[in-house]
Amino acid sequence: MTYRDRVRVAAVQLVSGLDPAENRRMVAGRVAEAADAGAELVVLPEATMCTFGEPAFDLAGVAEPLDGPFVDALHQVAGRYGVTVVAGMFERSAEPHRAYNTAVAVGPGGLDAAYRKIHLFDALGARESDRLVAGDPAKDVVTFGLGAWRVGLMTCYDLRFPELARALCDAGATVVCVPAHWYPGPGKAEVWETLVAARAIENTAYVVAAGKPMPEAVGRSRVVDPAGVVLAALLGTGEGTAAAELSLDRLAEVRAALPLLEHRRFRVEPGRG
Query: Would you please indicate which residues are annotated as catalytic (active-site) residues?
Result: 46, 117, 156
Residue pair 172/203 in contact (Cβ under 8 Å)? The answer is: no
Tell me the backbone φ, ψ of residue 269, rounded to 5 degrees.
Answer: -130, 150
Question: Rounded to an integer, what distance in angstroms lies between the CA atom of residue 200 and that of residue 197?
Answer: 5
> Which distant-in-sequence residues (6+ apart) come within 8 Å of 151 by Cβ?
41, 86, 105, 113, 143, 144, 145, 173, 174, 175, 176, 177
Neighbours of 215 (CB within 10 A): 10
| Strand partners for 64 | 91
Kindly give the residue spans of alpha helices, DSSP state H, lying in the chain: 20-36, 59-62, 69-81, 162-170, 188-203, 248-257
